[in-house]
Amino acid sequence: MGMMTEFKTFAMKGNLVDMAVGVVMGAAFGTVVKSFIDGVFMPAISPLMGGLDLASWKYVMKEAVMEGDKTVKEAVSINIGDFLTALISFIIVAFVMFMIIKGMNKAMEAEKEEEEAAPSAPPAQEVLLAEIRDLLKK
């Protein structure tokens, strides 16, 4: 078996394809959540915080400096707002994923209970043997 054939067999397994689709969907969902946080959530809570734009909140450790030859030495800052925005996005994505998995587990549990509740028909051999036994009794 050649390497390409082995790779094709590996890549076409159902679990791997499902996982790839999940990663792509998760990335797309993360982009939507980031857009929601940046464009809707943060501007909405800004008035509640006295007009503070939380996304641009930063602690400047060293101010920007213009040197003699007109080059600018960048400021050194800790971008607290970016971190908080990413943290809020993570919490939303994690919560939604938790709810999806919880729903899937509940659906799988209900399906399992239905399978256990429905009595399965005895195997054909047992039915045949029971008929033979009944005929022999007569």
Match 């659906």 to its residue by tokens: 107
| Cα–Cα distance for residue pair 13/6, rounded to 1 Å | 11
Residue 76 clears pLDDT 80, i.e. is over it: yes
Tokens of 6: 């082995």
Predicted pLDDT of residue 20: 81
Give the tens place of pLDDT for each residue, 48-58: 878 877 778 88
Total residue count of the chain as it appears in this document: 138
Predicted pLDDT of residue 3: 86
- The conformation of residue 15, written as its DSSP 8-state character, comes to H
Residue 12 clears pLDDT 80, i.e. is over it: no
Q: Which domains does the chain have, with CATH numbers?
A: 3-137 (1.10.1200.120)
Q: Which ranges constitute the DSSP H helices of 1-138?
A: 3-11, 14-36, 42-45, 80-117, 124-137
Instruction: Output the pTM of the full model.
Output: 0.60
